[in-house]
């Protein structure tokens, strides 16, 4: 059994990670930390854990010392120093925040308003999107776990970009996320009476996931990719649906494109390309690490429309982090992640 721990275990991502790790056969959650709920039992913070675990939130140093793999689920800017300390002790780190996602420090400064704190350790890190570069993850000590929106969009576009099939300067990503993406912090926007029966966009044209999306897509395309990305807040707990519009370069039929998608993902446990004529829906992937992708075009057949859905808390955060952990530990990718979505 490997020993794992979570720094920032009481945020929404942290607690979802804990829930999934407790059902993972090959690891033991040895320590968790929380600055807000230090010394409290996790089962008193989240009563779902009542009688299911006796873990107590301790200091982050406790996690670093006792665990082989350390998950950091923290606001951006707080993980670099932790990672530096951990890898100095030969631990592995999986960061669910933004600290290691952008390779370019200037870009990080532009979008997050600060420079890298521990610049030298970034070379030890990899942006770990398993279906794109999973085979390399094991070679690194730090894995930057992708953001939720970038995951849905990158998986949705990878086959088109790798095969050079679309105009890389005219991509529209219209994404809609369940409200847990906004976290546990209180705000009027996430106050029930305000969010319920409402729907709105936010961060229009300037959301911080934009450079991360463009970085990944550019690697896939092997050229500079530009996207217009608009996130919206759905009045549901979980799920992201991205509707992606792009302009085909070639006159491929929808059937041909569909074949390319199926081929790309034929050996992937978690990414499922739906048969033509079907439409991906959030409910079919909720509470799982799956991504469903459906492929469409407009009636003039001059736009390709991709629908990509994931659970923002699982494939978009905690589940993908475990998938990355499995890669680090040389376990089958689906260990602890053989989840089927409840139909309701």
Of 61, 164, 224, 228, the one binding a copy of itself (CB under 8 A) is 228
Residues 139-158, interacting with a copy of itself (CB under 8 A): none
* Residue 68 in tokens: 């082989």
Of 39, 51, 120, 135, the one binding a copy of itself (CB under 8 A) is 51
Of 58, 76, 92, 176, the one binding a copy of itself (CB under 8 A) is 176
> What is the rounded CA–CA span in Å between residue 312 and residue 240?
6
Nearest CB to a copy of itself, comparing residues 82 and 304: 304
Rg, Å, the chain Cα set:
20
37 binds a copy of itself (CB under 8 A): no
Residues 14-33, interacting with a copy of itself (CB under 8 A): 15-16, 19, 22-23
225 binds a copy of itself (CB under 8 A): no
Q: In angstroms, what is the minimal distance from the CB of 222 to a copy of itself? A: 21
- How does strand 200-201 pair with strand 227-233? antiparallel
> What is the rounded CA–CA span in Å between residue 157 and residue 177?
18
Site string for a copy of itself, 250-289 (x = CB under 8 A): ----------------------x-x---xxxxxxxxxxx-
36 binds a copy of itself (CB under 8 A): no
Residues 285-344, interacting with a copy of itself (CB under 8 A): 285-288, 292, 296-300, 303, 305, 307, 313, 338, 340-344
At a CB cut-off of 8 Å and minimum separation 6, what does 101 contact? Answer: 127, 144, 146, 147, 150, 212, 215
Tell which residue, 213, 104, 72, has the closest CA to residue 155.
Answer: 213
148 an active-site residue?
Answer: yes
Q: In angstroms, what is the minimal distance from the CB of 173 to a copy of itself? A: 10
Q: Scanning the structure block, which residue is given the tokens 């279906």? A: 131
**Other beta carbons less than 10 A from residue 255's beta carbon:** 9
The single residue of 57, 148, 173, 291 carrying the catalytic annotation is: 148
Residues 178-217, interacting with a copy of itself (CB under 8 A): 179-180, 184, 186-188, 190-202, 204-206, 210
**Other beta carbons less than 10 A from residue 14's beta carbon:** 26
Residues 67-96, interacting with a copy of itself (CB under 8 A): none
CB 141 within 8 A of CB 124: yes
Helix (H) / strand (E) element for 7: namely strand 2-7
Q: In angstroms, what is the minimal distance from the CB of 178 to a copy of itself? A: 8
| 3-state secondary structure at position 229 | strand
Nearest CB to a copy of itself, comparing residues 83 and 337: 337
At a CB cut-off of 8 Å and minimum separation 6, what does 251 contact? Answer: none
Known catalytic residues? 148
């Amino acid at each position: 059994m490997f020993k794992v721990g979570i720094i920032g275990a009481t945020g929404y991502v942290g607690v979802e990670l804990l829930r999934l790790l407790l059902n993972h056969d090959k690891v033991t959650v040895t320590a968790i930390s929380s600055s807000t709920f230090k010394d409290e039992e996790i089962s008193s913070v989240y009563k779902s854990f009542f009688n299911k675990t006796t873990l107590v939130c301790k200091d982050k140093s406790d996690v670093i010392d006792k665990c082989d793999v350390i998950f950091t689920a923290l606001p951006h800017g707080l993980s670099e120093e932790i990672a530096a300390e951990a890898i100095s002790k030969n631990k592995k780190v999986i960061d669910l925040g933004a600290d290691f996602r952008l390779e370019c420090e200037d870009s990080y400064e532009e979008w997050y308003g600060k420079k890298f704190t521990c610049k030298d350790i970034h070379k030890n890190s990899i942006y770990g999107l398993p279906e794109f570069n999973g085979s390399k993850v094991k070679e690194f000590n730090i894995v930057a776990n992708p953001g939720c929106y970038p995951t849905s969009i990158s998986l949705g576009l990878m086959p088109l970009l790798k095969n050079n099939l679309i105009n890389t300067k005219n991509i529209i990503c219209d994404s809609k996320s369940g409200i847990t993406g906004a976290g546990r912090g209180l705000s009027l926007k996430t106050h029930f009476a305000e969010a319920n029966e409402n729907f709105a966009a936010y961060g229009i044209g300037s959301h911080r996931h934009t450079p991360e999306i463009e970085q990944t897509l550019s690697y896939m395309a092997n050229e500079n990719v530009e996207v217009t990305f608009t996130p919206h807040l759905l009045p549901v707990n979980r799920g992201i649906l991205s509707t992606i519009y792009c302009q085909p370069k070639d006159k491929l039929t929808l059937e041909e494109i569909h074949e390319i998608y199926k081929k790309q993902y034929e050996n992937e446990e978690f990414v499922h390309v739906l048969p033509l004529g079907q439409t991906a829906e959030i409910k079919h992937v909720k509470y799982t690490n799956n991504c469903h992708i459906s492929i469409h075009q407009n009636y003039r057949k001059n736009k390709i429309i991709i629908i990509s859905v994931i659970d923002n808390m699982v494939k978009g955060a905690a589940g993908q982090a475990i998938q990355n952990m499995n890669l680090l530990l040389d376990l089958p990718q689906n260990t602890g992640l053989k989840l089927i979505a409840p139909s309701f």
